[in-house]
Structure 1
């Protein structure tokens, strides 16, 4: 097992063991995005009693062509956002919305992934965790 795979496996085990997880609420699976227009990416995290310190995240869009996309642990798509993540609790939900612009060149990407890399520090031991999430989307127009 290479170092990247080992680090990804450890992060997954750590975040699962402590009940921390981020999810993509919007866009949903199968959403058709429009190149040149803004779309909302809504990210949610679970509530926890364990110390959970947000560091940041990246949101990307990857064109998978006719095949499968490579795992985000190996390579991510075209960068749409990078920066802080400061979700807010609204009722029982903890989330933050990001407005990103779908690139004009993404026209007709019928097999794509909206990907998120989320980095945080966990607990009193300050364990660094990097988790990846994605949702299958496509873009309108013909390529």
Structure 2
């Protein structure tokens, strides 16, 4: 599993506000092109984001589902992007001070062609992708906090 962390200048609750708004995911998830729908119960267990991945005109419609959730602390997602495969993505929020939060993404492929990539190479690719995802998430969260 690839583990990537970044400190964001916001409280866990402020970071959670962004994570709890499913319509914002394409702003920070690398590869997400557009949001087609968000279940009204998002981010409750079993709820889904209906998204597209890729670049126009080569878009793939799929979903991401909440497997576990602890409000303002942690969310475990099953991200799908077939035919590429699927992955478990855990996002956790740990307060560092009264005004900062360390956000950690732990991700690994769980089905499909991604599981055939050797683990060291897969982890390196996921890490680089999630460094950028956390950079984008910080822009969104910190921009809202100002």
TM-score by length of structure 1 reads 0.29
More helix by share: 2
Q: TM-score, normalised by structure 2?
A: 0.29
Structure with the greater alpha carbon radius of gyration: 1
User: Which structure shows the higher strand fraction?
Assistant: 1
